[in-house]
Structure 1
Amino acid sequence: MSGYQELLPHVVKAVREVGAFVAARHTASAVGGPDVDGVIAVFRMVDAPASELLRERLAALRPQARWAPDEIGTAVAATGEQWVCDAVDGAVHFLQGLPYWGVTVTLVADGRPVLAVLDAPHLGFLYTAVEGRGAHLNGRPLKASGKDLSAALACTSQPPYNREPERAGASLTAMLRHTLAVRNLGPTALQVAQVGSGHVDVFWEYGEDANNLLPGALIAREGGALVTDADGHAWTPASPSFVAAPAALHADVLRVLAAVPAHEAA
């Protein structure tokens, strides 16, 4: 494991430090100007120093690992080690004064996630995972749900690189007909991680969203969930779709999605 398990507590310490820094600057009401530029300016006042602090701490722990250049993107290095991080994951929620945000850190080795930490300070959730060593929530091993699909809470999100918005919309209708409820509960990474802990039963998404999916994908998989694309193939950062669900539900989810027609360009 190249010392990933031994690295984990040091990454947790760094993530919690950054989480405390951001939490101290969070308010219970919406902030920012009346337009997009004003909102972005306020966010950068928190995100820029938080990101720099996170990068400084992680570089000291794993100096050979590269740094992903963009928090919103799909390019993940195929070889070597790379940090994929977001100091304020859930920027919109943070700015709206909502508690659904966190700090995410994933160490990617040769194109696959091998270590992940997700800290949501205001929710009291600290998820950790190391490839082959399991996943934990607040120090306790994860346990995915055992519900039938008809009783399941299914969650989804809309990534910035979705070339099939019509299919995403059709899949929402399909899932609404087969599950108890469909919701969007905040940052993508957190929702996927919650599949591993049983707070969420199913998460699916269409579109390329590697940076947001990587931490939750490892946490959910190490927690016992199956993580694939919508066709049932092993998920990779380059996959055009994503499904995370317990083994008992996974095949049913794929059957629902298989009935959703792909959009044909005019």
Structure 2
Amino acid sequence: MELLAETVEAVRVVGDHLVGRQGTEPAPAVTLADALEVFTALDDPASALLRERLTRLRPGAGWLEDELASRVPADGEWWVCDATDGAVQYLHGMPHWAVTATLVRDGEPVLAVVHAPRVGATYAAELGGGAVLDGRAMAPARRELSAAVAATSQPPLVAQDPVALRRAGESLSAVLPWVLAVRNLGPTALQVAQVGSGHLSLFWEYGSDAGNLLPGALIAREAGARVTDARGGRWTPAADSFVAAAPSLHGDLLAVLREIE
């Protein structure tokens, strides 16, 4: 638990750093190149600070350079982190972004923190130790599907995967009639963690997105949510689909998604 507490502290320091640099108005970026330039100037120092702090905690762990990676190393310990998860929201002056840090051991997440400073929420979990929201134990909410608020997202490179792109569109049309609402609330990791705390009832996504899914997957699972692929199989970082849901809704969601396979 000491490592988890120290990781939470490191992530909060980076969150404070970024809060102090986020404007309330959208960044003046006309083109994608403009936006990337503005974001890089903000994200690079924050990423360096996060790496410095976490490397100090676990000197022997490797560092996955690309937080958008769809694959993670199968051997050894690695930090998989994103200093500004939710870059679009951050650049537009919105609150739904987060700092994430996940320690992966032999391809599996064993510790994860998702800190959303503007939302005022810090999710944390350690393998076998349960999950907490701001230090309090949490659990998924029990609701009927018709009363469920669902969430979904798309991997950053989904446009390059025609199968995932098709399934993303078809699954949205399939799920909408069955639930109270479907939302995309920004960072994937934060939304998956919110399934674990009951703020959302379920989340699904198509495409490879290991870097974004790892932290939320551990947090949601440790909180008691069901985490699988869209076929009900065991989710791994190499999977091409993802589902996290309250146990009472997991089977219902899989049944709806089965229609688009």
The TM-score with structure 2 as length reference comes to: 0.97
Counterpart amino acid of residue 246 in structure 1: A
- Structure 2: 5+ residue runs without aligned partners? none
> What corresponds to 1:207 in structure 2?
207
Report the counterpart of residue 65 of structure 2 in structure 1. 69
Match of 1:36 in 2: 32
How far, CA to CA, are the matches of 1:188 and 1:16 in structure 2?
A: 19
3-state secondary structure, aligned to 2:99: strand
Distance 2:6 2:132 in 1: 16
Does the Cα contact within 8 Å between 1:29 and 1:97 map onto a contact in 2? yes
Contact 1:32–1:41, Cα closer than 8 Å, also in 2: no
Residue deviations 1:113-169 (CA, integer Å, cap 9, x gap): 000011100100000000000000011111201001111111000112432211211
- For residue 32 of structure 1, report the CA deviation from its aligned partner: 3.4
Query: In the alignment, which residue of structure 1 is the partner of 2:99?
Result: 103
Give the corresponding residue for 1:264.
none
**Matched residue pairs, number?**
257
Partner of 2:134: 138
Q: Which amino acid aligns with 2:245?
A: A
Q: In the TM superposition, what are the counterparts of 1:55-204 in structure 2 within 5 Å?
A: 55-162=51-158, 163=161, 164=163, 165-204=165-204
**Mapping for residues 228-247 of structure 1, pairs under 5 Å:** 228-247=228-247
Aligned partners of 1:159, 1:83: CA distance in 2, in Å?
20
Counterpart secondary structure, 1:74: coil
Q: Distance in 2 between matches of 1:120 and 1:167?
A: 29
C-alpha contact (below 8 Å) 1:66/1:82 kept by paired residues: yes
Q: Which amino acid aligns with 2:16?
A: A
- TM superposition shift of 1:44: 1.1
Q: Whole-Å Cα distance in 2 between the matches of residues 75 and 241 of structure 1?
A: 13
Aligned AA (1:64): G
- Deviation digits for residues 37-73 of structure 1, max 9, x if unmatched? 2111111111000000100111111011000020111
Work out the CA distance in 2 between the residues paired with 1:34 and 1:170. 31
Q: Percent identity?
A: 57
Q: CA RMSD in A?
A: 0.8
Secondary structure of residue in 2 paired with 1:259: helix
Separation in structure 1 between the aligned mates of residue 64 and residue 28 of structure 2, nearest angstrom: 27
Letter of the aligned partner of 1:108 in structure 2?
Answer: V
Deviation at 1:33, TM superposition (A): 2.5
Q: Please give the alpha-carbon distance, in whole angstroms, between the structure 1 residues aligned to 2:114 and 2:86.
A: 12
TM-score normalised per structure 1: 0.95
Q: Secondary structure at the match of 2:260?
A: coil
